């Protein structure tokens, strides 16, 4: 479009090429399929939970992955955590391919990635006190010295603002409030000083007033310790306070990648547009209008629709193209890619 556009477009190419631009993790053509079996042994197809996903995570960057339940965002996350093996494609962390790691390297890898679970109460073992919950990763991670362990526990508890530490250290999870439990989960994820944090809907179970507090805490920690974060959520309104880039996922594919401000200003994919339109803001006028919601529900990942996976629900469908051919990545704006034929 403009000259300025072209200059930055080159940056996008660098950005999209795994391994360059100081990427901490690069994911290339990742597919995660789960085999369905009939009567325990007959093959009955695959659930294509993640299908051809490519992106890079830079050092110290926060990325939000937005999508509805069943779109594959949890499978993507679990593959990144090394809990699922990629069916095809690569997940490369600091030059090491996750699919080829042996048990020892996996153990090292797990000290490098932290995991913040969705439901803090479910994620904390009810029969362990705070001291024990935080010691265990250290013991497994090879910190043998008790004094050193206590020092690190003290530090991480101060980091998540659970002070004075002595008030909390002997408490069990049920004695903590929801916000405090979530701080504990963050402390546990951070105690090995990971380079990478995966946060799976870290605030969706919390009260509205505590949500912002936890997100700000995570953001501050990230700025202080420069780790990268993947923040998985379905709530678009919290994304802008937390991340630089946002990926929109639909039916196993990342359909739009953009800087958060660009997505909010100008969502390109009709699905991203619908998500934004469906997000409410407190305004009395809302009660007098109906929301424009695409019909139907997300497709089954066993037999996804041909062509573009959103075409059966899309208001802007181009007949004869969208249902036939899968759209490639288009790049109509700098650092803004979209999987949609509208932008060819």
Partner 1 sequence: MVDKELLRVEQLKLYFRTTQGVVQAVDGVDFNLDYNRAVVIVGESGCGKTSLARAILRLLPRNVDTYSGHIYLDGNDVMAYDDEEFRQNVRWIKMSLVPQAAMNALNPVMRVGDQVAEPAMIHLGVKADEAMSMARKMFQNVGVAADFLFRYPFELSGGMRQRAALAMALVTSPILIVLDEPTSALDLLTQANIMNVLKRIKHEFETSYILITHDVATSSELADEVAVMYAGQIVEVGDTPRFFPNPLHPYSKKLMNSVPRLHGDKEPEFIIGQPPSLISPPTGCRFAARCPSRFEKCDEDPPTFTLDGRKVKCWLYA
Distance of closest approach, residue 270 Cβ to partner 1, in angstroms: 12
Judged by CB under 8 A, which stretch of 7-15, 84-92, 229-237, 322-330 contacts partner 1? Answer: 229-237
- Residue 90 binds partner 1 (CB under 8 A): no
Q: Does 294 bind partner 1 (CB under 8 A)?
A: yes
Angle at 78 between CA 293 and CA 267, to 5 degrees: 30
Short-list 66, 76, 69, CA closest to 246: 66
Dihedral angle of Cα 107, 108, 112, 116, to the nearest 10 degrees: 10
**How far apart are CB 199 and partner 1 at their closest, in Å?**
16
Among residues 279, 303, 306, 325, the one that binds partner 1 under rule CB under 8 A: 279
In which residue are the tokens 């992106």 written? 55
Nearest in space to 53 (alpha carbons), one of 38, 39, 41, 63 = 63
Residues that bind partner 1 (rule: CB under 8 A) add up to a total of 38
Question: Of 166 and 280, which CB lies nearer to partner 1 in the complex structure?
Answer: 280
Angle between helices 130-140 and 146-159 (to 10 degrees): 120
Q: How far is the CB of 310 from partner 1 (least distance, A)?
A: 12
Of 94, 85, 167, give the one whose Cα is nearest residue 131: 167
- Is 99 a residue that touches partner 1 (CB under 8 A)? no
Q: Please, which residue, 147 or 284, has the CB nearer to partner 1? A: 284
**CA distances from residue 199 to 17, 132, 202 in whole angstroms, order as listed:** 25, 22, 6
Q: For partner 1, give the closer residue by CB, 196 or 242.
A: 242
> Can residue 322 be called a binding residue for partner 1 (CB under 8 A)?
no
* In contact, 163 and 186? CB cutoff 8 Å: no
| Sites of contact with partner 1 (CB under 8 A) | 68-69, 177-178, 207-213, 216, 234-238, 240-241, 264, 274-284, 286-287, 290-291, 293-294, 297
């Amino acid at each position: 479009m403009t000259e300025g556009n072209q200059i930055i477009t080159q940056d996008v190419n660098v950005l999209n090429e795994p391994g360059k631009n100081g990427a901490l993790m690069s994911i290339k053509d990742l597919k995660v399929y789960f085999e369905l079996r009939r009567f325990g042994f007959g093959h009955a197809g695959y659930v294509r939970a993640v299908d051809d996903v490519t992106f890079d995570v830079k050092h110290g960057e926060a990325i939000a992955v937005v999508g509805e339940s069943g779109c594959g965002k949890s499978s993507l996350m679990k593959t990144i955590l090394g809990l699922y093996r990629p069916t095809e494609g690569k997940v490369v962390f600091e030059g090491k391919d996750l699919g080829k790691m042996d048990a020892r390297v996996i153990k090292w890898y797990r000290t490098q990635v932290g995991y913040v679970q969705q439901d803090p109460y479910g994620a904390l073992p009810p029969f362990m006190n705070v001291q024990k919950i935080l010691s265990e990763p250290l013991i497994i991670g090879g910190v043998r010295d008790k004094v050193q362990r206590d020092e690190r526990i003290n530090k991480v508890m101060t980091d998540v603002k659970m002070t004075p530490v002595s008030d909390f250290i002997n408490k069990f999870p049920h004695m903590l409030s929801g916000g405090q439990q979530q701080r504990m989960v963050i402390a546990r994820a951070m105690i090995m000083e990971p380079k990478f944090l995966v946060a799976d809907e870290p605030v969706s179970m919390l009260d509205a007033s505590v949500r912002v507090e936890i997100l700000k805490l995570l953001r501050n920690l990230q700025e202080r310790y420069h780790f990268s974060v993947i923040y998985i959520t379905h709530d678009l309104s919290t994304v802008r306070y937390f991340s630089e880039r946002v990926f929109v996922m639909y039916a196993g594919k990342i359909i739009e990648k953009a800087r958060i401000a660009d997505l909010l200003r100008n969502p390109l994919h009709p699905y991203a547009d619908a998500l934004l339109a469906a997000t409410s803001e407190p305004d009395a006028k809302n009660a007098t209008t109906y929301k424009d919601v695409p019909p139907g529900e997300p497709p089954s990942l066993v037999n996804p629709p041909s062509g573009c996976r959103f075409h059966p629900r899309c208001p802007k469908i181009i007949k004869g193209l969208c249902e036939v051919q899968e759209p490639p990545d288009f790049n109509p704006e700098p650092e803004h890619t979209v999987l949609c034929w509208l932008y060819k």
